[in-house]
Chain A
Amino acid sequence: MNDVKAITVDHLTKKFGNFTAVDNISFEVKKGEIFGFLGANGAGKTTAMRMLCGLSIPSSGNATVAGFDVYHQTEKIKKNIGYMSQKFSLYEDLTVKENIRFYAGIYGKSNEFIKNKTGVVIKDLHLEKEANKLVKSLPLGWKQKLAFSVAIFHEPEIVFLDEPTGGVDPVTRREFWNLIYEAAATGITVFVTTHYMDEAEYCNRVCIMVDGRIDAMDTPQQLKKACDAASMDEVFLKLARKALRSDT
């Protein structure tokens, strides 16, 4: 296994007034790793992710993403990562091809690169017939798979996935994870949040946030062992039930 670090986080903290949303967290993610980032609503996941994407400046601590500093090199970070979420991914009123072209253009890819790779992606996703159709006409599962392919089209070092499979049918959810595995095998680091605990098992390592802090971080197997639990669902319930800070 290669030891290049895609993400390093060192005592990272974010405060909003008196409220410490992210409280002194530290971890590293290796290149090509699938890293699951779990936590109850309000645990601080989104705030942490926004800092790592260069969208929010930390209150203290250090972090690098793809080798770039989260305080001073946020534009470089943005160029070297991909991002998709369940809520926002593609433009519904653009066609499949237009969406690809638009995103790749934003990342400054050449026309030639875009032209060549568009064909490959459309073929891999079996979207040949839909290439010139509006994205809004596609079923949700196809949209999510396309959104993921678009998020890594510019060949970023790291892709951040924020609940990418919410509401997706069980067959498509697994096809989506196949895409994640394929991307990781090419060396793309995957940073993913999910509410489906079976998906936590598919990650190389999982980190669970509780009240702004990292409560546990290990391989799913080790976490289950340490918590004496049969599944990640049980691990999560045991850890997240301790939360004092509640969103509910």
Chain B
Amino acid sequence: MKPAITINNIVKFYGAKSNKTEALSGISFNVNEGELFGIIGPDGAGKTSLFRILTTLLLADEGEATVDGYDVVKYYKEIRKRAGYMPGRFSLYQDLTVEENLEFFATIFNTTIEKNYHLIKDIYIQIEPFKKRKAGKLSGGMKQKLALCCALIHKPSVLFLDEPTTGVDAVSRKEFWEMLKKLKQQNITILVSTPYMDEAGMCDRVALLQSGKILSIDTPDGIIEQFQKDLFAVRSSKMLPLLNDLKICSEVEDAYFFGAYHHVVMKHKNEEQQLKNYLSKYAGDGLEINAIRPNIEDCFMALMKNTE
């Protein structure tokens, strides 16, 4: 399969020479054509810097990258014709209406709304009742949908979505990912970033990014399979003392809150019985110990600790 995006040893610094901050420390990976690829990482991981380099809005200090076969420095004009970009911050014209914004973006790319309407139809019909409303007066969820339409109207071959679901509630987040799945069927390559670990499962492949470094790249299942340790979900009616006890247990590598349970990473395999014995004093407090499969957040935390 032909890569839609290639990234080769990209480095980016900010600040004066004496006080440099490294935002990206030698990132390399490829995104295949038609792939839905997620960059998962917290704020400050370097997600936006990478997006801005790929969309030709920022120059890397080292390394090369291509989008749709074109070098991001030499052929930036070609990329701008082919890429759709939805920045993290809402950047449409607030005092133009919904319709006018869409018309504007279609026109500057030498196309018309009619020509590519099929691409945006499913999304646009949800905001069409408000097409005469100024973009600045839209609610967060509607702005997000309009921004996606504007990024799609010139039929890009690669779509860059920088944190489209940040600050959006759980219901709207699920809806947004359903829209992305549909877009994928139109054979558009999508690079999307998110700080929400639970969204990783919606991607074909993900890169886990932390402090400018890639912790891991694989399919969501592949990342989970790399987690070699035994993991348990533990709870009782006394959650705080339980966590403190788990943290000082010599068989336990790591223990942390995870929703209604504590997740416990064991140092060695097959030590469930040792854990049970150790926690026997909680037997009267509704103690539950279940072996579980890790999720992406467990993997991210384990990888973060390994690189520290």
A contacts, CB < 8 Å to B: 39-42, 139-141, 163, 166-172, 174, 177, 181, 195-198, 201-202, 220-221, 224, 231-233, 236-237, 240-241, 243, 246-248
Residues of A within 8 A of B198 (CB): 233
Residues of B within 8 A of A41 (CB): 139-141, 167-169, 172
Smallest CB-CB separation from B45: which chain A residue?
A169
Q: Does B210 sit within 8 A of A, measured CB to CB? A: yes
Query: Which residues 215-233 of B have a CB within 8 angstroms of A?
Result: none
Residues of A within 8 A of B109 (CB): none
Once A198-B259, A220-B260 are accepted as A-B contacts, the answer to whether A241 and B166 lie under 8 Å apart by CB is no
Smallest beta-carbon distance B206→chain A, Å: 15
User: When the two chains form their complex, are residues A166 and B305 in contact, meaning their CB atoms are under 8 A apart?
Assistant: no
User: When the two chains form their complex, are residues B141 and A248 in contact, meaning their CB atoms are under 8 A apart?
Assistant: yes
Residues of A within 8 A of B256 (CB): 171, 174
Query: What number of A-B contacts does a CB cutoff of 8 Å give?
Result: 100
Interface band, chain B = 35 or more
Smallest CB-CB separation from B305: which chain A residue?
A171
Query: Which residues 121-170 of B have a CB within 8 angstroms of A?
Result: 126, 139-142, 144-145, 166-170
User: When the two chains form their complex, are residues B300 and A170 in contact, meaning their CB atoms are under 8 A apart?
Assistant: yes
CA distance A165 to B241 in the complex (A): 24
User: When the two chains form their complex, are residues A141 and B172 in contact, meaning their CB atoms are under 8 A apart?
Assistant: no
Q: Does B108 sit within 8 A of A, measured CB to CB? A: no
Residues of A within 8 A of B140 (CB): 41-42, 247-248
User: When the two chains form their complex, are residues A42 and B259 in contact, meaning their CB atoms are under 8 A apart?
Assistant: no
B contacts, CB < 8 Å to A: 41-45, 126, 139-142, 144-145, 166-172, 174-175, 195-198, 210, 240, 256-260, 297, 300-301, 304-305
User: When the two chains form their complex, are residues B297 and A170 in contact, meaning their CB atoms are under 8 A apart?
Assistant: yes
Smallest beta-carbon distance B143→chain A, Å: 10
Q: Name 29 interchain pairs, CB-CB below 8 A, sorted by A.
A: A40-B169, A41-B168, A42-B140, A140-B42, A140-B44, A141-B42, A167-B43, A168-B42, A168-B195, A169-B42, A169-B210, A170-B300, A170-B304, A171-B301, A171-B305, A177-B257, A195-B168, A197-B259, A198-B258, A201-B259, A232-B259, A237-B174, A240-B169, A247-B139, A247-B172, A248-B126, A248-B141, A248-B142, A248-B144
